[in-house]
A and B are shown apart, each in its own frame.
Chain A
């Protein structure tokens, strides 16, 4: 098992533990993005947990802010704060808010939660990098339900207009949103064509294939003059069999029994080696 695989597994375990402790939150879209975050925080991004405000760091904006657990787990595993803190998620007075708060959580680069706003701010950060001739990059994770927000496309148009090739969006394309399947709630297909038409480089990968994800990020480094989007085909609830592909697990925390079963499954992966 590679370090990144191990981290993705740890992140998933953290997600289940923190949501079970919080008794609320969003497991489905957090689990679907665990592999993406593992690659970003343990391979791709230039960050320093000791210096979260380092001006030359790469930035990450969780545009789908409700997947806060996956971000908090990645940050804690990367060393931005102790993993024990994760169990205090959503508790009154604790810094781990239900949606990311940049003023409270070390390593969170932008407060998000209202969909569509993250990619717009991420593009602004990328523009700041261009103005200052800095080489940092900005990554932002979008949900597939989220792209129904008009602001996503305002930002997409402007990012291409200003040739923000230091901006990389990742679409967590798990096909499900709160009220059901994307195509039933609001059909956004053909997604890749839309981004291409907006002037973006589009790379399509299996969002749970670490090799494919790493290659895609590598590729974006050499694509100049345009922003890039990695459309990552994912499974909502990935890694916990009873949560996989179930829209109902968008915003419900597991019961203690369900959490035990999920953790057995996630930890079991290691025992089999």
Chain B
């Protein structure tokens, strides 16, 4: 099954795990090539470049060409991982991803880091808050958001094995390790991190950690919520979403992304058509971010366990009324 790449208890950014995963998988699959756009030290593809310099290609500050080259490499049998910051990968190169990758269903892995507001000091120009929404809207595209280092390794491994375009969203901030080496990530499958009967929080990325904190706090108040990690946003685990809505009757989503078009929308789309329950979305409220310390920004923009607690109490009140 999976392999251990980190010691549990260690706090690691998903991008750090990405670099390590690339080195490991690069040794197993000679077709893996890695491309970057002058951010290899930040995206951690530099780890791969050090070990496999003949399979690493810096495209310079040219994201459109980063994707175009990746498409051509994939069309010739390579498994390219194209990395840059999420805002440039999915914004600057959106149409290259649409027409040269997603439409011909080429085997390109767009592995973006520095997603979300937790980019911090660089400010709104560098904080992708809409990347999931735009990638999710593309036919043929798979969208994955790992929540910790172990899951990142598995996501990268499964993305490399899967034939077709994948968008992988990773963060800059160090996050605690949630999963051990027995964890087995599957594309299209959500996993219950904590079970509960009163409400379900579907979360991704660093909000999974906040959701767990919220669950612990609520438990001490006698409210038992389930926390479900939805690392596979597309395809999303429909069955799990419906099942948990039936089990708990109230749903909250939590994502470090605009509430338009991301996880909250994906869950709402399924529930409104299949099993409507009271629902609240925790996320960025249709605004751009700003410069600041990541922790302060997460508080300012409502991306904390206390916001999740508020949202849970809100849906519980509606459920009971």
Contact = CB atoms under 8 A, between A and B. Distances in A.
B72 A110 contact: yes
B71 to A, nearest CB: 5
B75 A120 contact: no
Contact of A114 (B57, B69, B95): B95
A112 B95 CA distance: 12
Interface string A54-94: 01000101000000000000000000000000000000000
Contact of B76 (A114, A129, A161): A129
B99 A113 contact: yes
A123 B72 contact: yes
A267 interface: no
Nearest to B93: A151
Given A101-B104, A120-B64, A127 B72 contact: yes
Contacts of A158: 59-60, 62, 65, 69
Interface string A136-175: 0010000000000011001101100110000000000000
Which DSSP category, helix, strand, loop or mixed, fits chain A's interface? helix
A222 B167 CA distance: 40
Interface in B61-116: 62, 64-65, 67-78, 80, 95-96, 99-100, 103-105
B54 interface: yes
Nearest to A117: B100
Contact of B99 (A111, A127, A128): A111
A157 B62 contact: yes
Interface of A: 55, 59, 61, 101-103, 109-114, 116-117, 119-129, 131, 138, 150-151, 154-155, 157-158, 161-162
B33 interface: yes
A160 to B, nearest CB: 12
A186 B62 CA distance: 22
21 contacts: A55-B77, A59-B76, A61-B72, A103-B104, A103-B105, A110-B72, A111-B100, A112-B99, A114-B99, A114-B100, A120-B71, A121-B100, A123-B69, A124-B69, A124-B70, A127-B57, A128-B78, A131-B78, A138-B72, A157-B62, A158-B59
A131 B33 contact: yes
B80 to A, nearest CB: 8
Contact of A125 (B62, B76, B95, B105): B76
Contacts of A154: 59, 62, 64-65, 68
Contacts of A161: 60
A124 B96 CA distance: 13
B55 interface: yes
Contacts of A116: 64
A151 B65 contact: yes
Contacts of B99: 111-114, 117
A117 B96 contact: yes
A57 B294 CA distance: 51
Interface string B131-153: 00000000000000000000000
A204 to B, nearest CB: 26
Contacts of A122: 72
Most buried by B among A59, A112, A121, A162: A121
A122 B80 CA distance: 15
A84 B59 CA distance: 43
Contacts of B33: 131
Contacts of A101: 103-104
Given A111-B104, A127-B57, A131-B55, A120 B96 contact: yes
Contacts of B95: 114, 117
A155 B105 contact: no
Contacts of A113: 99
Given A110-B104, A151-B96, A162-B57, 13 more contacts: A55-B77, A103-B104, A114-B95, A117-B95, A117-B99, A119-B68, A120-B65, A120-B67, A120-B100, A123-B68, A124-B70, A128-B76, A158-B69
A100 to B, nearest CB: 10
Contacts of A162: 57
Contacts of B96: 117, 120, 151
Nearest to B103: A111
B72 A124 contact: yes
B318 to A, nearest CB: 46
Interface in B266-310: none
Contacts of B65: 120, 123, 151, 154-155, 158
